[in-house]
Structure 1
Amino acid sequence: MKKVIAILFLLCINNLFGQNGWEFQNSGTEMGLNSIYFFNKQSGIAVGIFNTILKTTDGGNNWDMVEFQPGYDIMFTEVLFTDYQTGYAIGSKGSIIKTSNSGNSWFIQESPSYSYLMGLNFINNDTGWIVSNKGEILATTDGGQTWLKNDSTMDVGLSDILFFNSSDGLIIGNKGSIYKTTNGGSNWIKINIPVDTNLTNMFFYNNNYGWIVGHDGTLLRTTNGGDDWEKINFVNAENLFSVFFVNDTSGWIGSWNGSIYHTTNSGRNWELQFKGKNDFDQIFGLYFSDDTTGWAVGNSGIILHTNSAGVTNINESNSILKSFMNYYPNPFSSSFNLEFANSTASAVNIELYDIIGNKIYSKSLGFLDRGTHNTTIQLNDGISSGCYLVVLRNGVDIQSMKVVKSE
């Protein structure tokens, strides 16, 4: 047993399991970031509060602040590009801005709204739509030189919009609202769904497969272009704010609680890949440039990056390092909080081993439901400083992680 523990300990040191496949990038700002978009694996734009626009040309290793001073504060909510050079961002006070040089500089477009603009979609360089938190729908057919407000203002706040072509589109919003148009937005028909929570973000991989996320763990899926929606039971009741799929099976969700979840079966099951260290690490935006390369942004200037689809360097099929574990403070003095994901409802036990494999602590948590949990590990004063191995057993999986005790 001691030999096994020692091997596990070396694995933890070499692979830093706490990274969980997502690594922090230095954004250079503490301003909250709400949206991110990459033209390719190297060049991307992130936007956020107080006129924050960041650009990278090296995959996010370095982020530079883009100069933009409109004379008033804008909270940007979304950014997207229609080609390598042409991009748009929207936000508070009805703000719409555009770039024609890959995000190096931006100029303001005239807007018929003064509301929070929440969702943005273009089907080509000229034709696009925007929705607002006041139920407004804006449209352009000339690349934003003119934006016109649609006569069909909804009676709920809208959060996202998506068009498949110039005729067929969807909008989502508060109180479980989904509307569909087949005539370019002249008329909208409400689609009945089995939820009444606020819907926040929508993503379609193609014209048929789509997903919607919302408050209280709301997750919806369609396979027929949004005509019908299936409610999928999520792992918990977190408020979900972003969703992104790279094909019809593999996707990610970001949450208010700073979590990133991954599915490999179209959303039927989700595994926790990343968890922020506090309640202020909300994840608001996700973007993947291919099946494995992605970024996430959130509060306090957080930018996360993965080039492994969010999985650890250890093969995910290795059950020893399959699920999520995190601890804080790091390092700890006498006690630490342990967060972990229980992959199946089961009895959970926690053990702590020293570097030579001696068990120095054990704790039974009893029977826990599937999902994320946390507990406090309190050690006695006789435990010396150094590296230790936490091992969590739930009858199905064994998880392990290195922890460091200070003086």
Structure 2
Amino acid sequence: MSWGLCAAALTAALAAPADAVPPDRHRQGERPVWTLTDTGTDARFRGLAAVDRRTAWVAGTRGTVLRTTDGGHRWRDVSPVGAVREGLEFRDIEAFDSRHAVALAIGEGEASRVLRTDDGGVTWTESFRNTDARAFYDCLAFFDRRHGLAMSDPVDGKYRILSTDDGGRNWRVLPSAGMPEARDGEASFAAGGQCLVASGPGDVWLATGGAATARVLHSADRGLSWSAAESSIPAGDPARGVFALAFRDRRHGIAVGGDYRAGLPSPDSAAVTGDGGRSWRGSSVPPAGYRSGVAWLPHDRSGALAVGPTGTDLSRDGGRTWHTVDRGSFDTVACTPDGGCWAAGETGRVARTEAWNLR
């Protein structure tokens, strides 16, 4: 049932009709929030690694990986040859700079893999291939250039965590003794590479859905021991729960999600925490619908963006209230310390903006 939740989400997302998504549009006099770039592909990009205002990586369907080093004016196809041939589904990518990146492909059994490049995508090395048919990996997160984690939906009743201490060259499964028991039907969503996020040298959070309630799990020791807290975002269905997390430090975080099925309402689709995820309270004015990506604006203690198939929402008060600023479809979003923000999604859509445009 754990990997079944992710498989269902994958199938439904790829089958969603394009005309169900509103086109980009703005009220008269409004300036556009996002500037779309020409990626030259119709792949769906749920993996996004924003390095700075000029450098970003995206990863998506059919084994596609692209990289830009000039702010999106030109995208270079750096897709791993084997991934393209096998049609792997990339759902997360983490990049340290313009040359070093780690990408996660999802799926049942051996479809879940980790690949790494040290030369800007000219060559890739497979550093992990899942051989357990019960595992289904969803997300990656790195604390620094060396230490990182990957997570799988529950196996034997607990989330499975992979760890690396050499930048993704080698991985090992962490002991499960410190992981709470998963609830019936609980799993995570490989929707935008933000179901597992890290902040600082040791804190990491994991988002869940599908069970009676949506939870956020937290570890302060790089995945060895975990605590769990219920969020205010509705679950109770395999299509509902927390889809994405963002932490600006080890205490202040935002969770977004809802129901990914097109046309269904997603009330209470955002929540905030000020105590590191021990407790969550719902946004008083949530985003306009289901959201699969969220990011804090750089050098801003209260600004944040949330994205989903029906638009982009902006919060200027730390996630307590949101308002829609763009109607275009995106699956994931990221901002960089030098003031750049990037978003990626279906039909090759990748866009960027300057954070100051949103203040």
Let me know the Cα RMSD of the aligned residues: 2.9
Task: Tell whether 2:183 aligns with 1:189.
Answer: no
Structure 1 pair 189/310, CA: closer, same or farther in 2 (3 Å)? closer
What residue in structure 2 maps to residue 369 of structure 1? Answer: none
Distance 2:24 2:39 in 1: 8
What residue in structure 2 maps to residue 338 of structure 1? Answer: none
What residue in structure 2 maps to residue 203 of structure 1? Answer: 197
Task: Tell whether 2:250 aligns with 1:233.
Answer: no
For residue 269 of structure 1, give the secondary structure of its aligned residue in structure 2: coil
- Out of 106-115 and 182-191, give the one that drifted further: 182-191
What residue in structure 1 maps to residue 4 of structure 2? Answer: none
Once the two structures are superposed, what CA deviation does each residue of 1:111-166 show, in whole Å capped at 9, x if it has no partner? 13121101111233322211111211110111222122225435322221123345
What residue in structure 1 maps to residue 79 of structure 2? Answer: 110
Question: Which of the residues 137, 141, 148 maps onto 2:114?
Answer: 137
Distance 2:127 2:77 in 1: 21
* Structure 1 or 2: more strand by fraction: 1
Once the two structures are superposed, what CA deviation does each residue of 1:337-389 show, in whole Å capped at 9, x if it has no partner? xxxxxxxxxxxxxxxxxxxxxxxxxxxxxxxxxxxxxxxxxxxxxxxxxxxxx
Question: Which of the residues 261, 273, 285 maps onto 2:293?
Answer: 285
Structure 1 pair 53/191, CA: closer, same or farther in 2 (3 Å)? farther
Q: Which runs of 5 or more structure 1 residues have no equivalent in the other structure?
A: 1-31, 33-48, 313-323, 325-407
TM-score normalised by length of structure 1: 0.57
Task: Tell whether 2:314 aligns with 1:305.
Answer: yes
Task: Tell whether 2:54 aligns with 1:85.
Answer: yes
What residue in structure 2 maps to residue 174 of structure 1? Answer: 153
For residue 291 of structure 1, give the secondary structure of its aligned residue in structure 2: coil
What residue in structure 2 maps to residue 367 of structure 1? Answer: none
Cα contact 1:181–1:189 (8 A) shared by 2: no
Distance 1:53 1:244 in 2: 25
AA matched with 2:126: K
Task: Tell whether 2:96 aligns with 1:123.
Answer: yes
Question: Which of the residues 50, 60, 68 maps onto 1:99?
Answer: 68
AA matched with 2:64: S
Structure 1 pair 143/234, CA: closer, same or farther in 2 (3 Å)? same
What residue in structure 2 maps to residue 6 of structure 1? Answer: none
Q: Which runs of 5 or more structure 2 residues have no equivalent in the other structure?
A: 1-12, 14-19, 190-194, 260-265, 323-359
For residue 246 of structure 2, give the secondary structure of its aligned residue in structure 1: strand
For residue 40 of structure 2, give the secondary structure of its aligned residue in structure 1: coil
Cα contact 1:129–1:137 (8 A) shared by 2: yes
For residue 150 of structure 1, give the secondary structure of its aligned residue in structure 2: strand
Cα contact 2:57–2:95 (8 A) shared by 1: no
Cα contact 2:48–2:56 (8 A) shared by 1: yes
Distance 2:145 2:307 in 1: 30
AA matched with 1:218: R
Structure 1 pair 248/60, CA: closer, same or farther in 2 (3 Å)? farther
Cα contact 2:254–2:319 (8 A) shared by 1: no
Identity within the alignment, %: 18
What residue in structure 1 maps to residue 271 of structure 2? Answer: 261
Task: Tell whether 2:39 aligns with 1:68.
Answer: yes
| Higher RCO structure, 1 or 2 (CA under 8 Å, sep 6+) | 2
Cα contact 1:295–1:304 (8 A) shared by 2: yes
Write out aligned runs for 1:392-403 (5 A).
none
CA displacement at 1:189 relative to structure 2: 1.8
AA matched with 1:295: L
What residue in structure 2 maps to residue 390 of structure 1? Answer: none
What residue in structure 2 maps to residue 391 of structure 1? Answer: none
CA displacement at 1:53 relative to structure 2: 11
Bigger Cα Rg: 1
Structure 1 pair 285/159, CA: closer, same or farther in 2 (3 Å)? same
What residue in structure 2 maps to residue 250 of structure 1? Answer: 252
For residue 62 of structure 2, give the secondary structure of its aligned residue in structure 1: coil
Task: Tell whether 2:219 aligns with 1:222.
Answer: yes
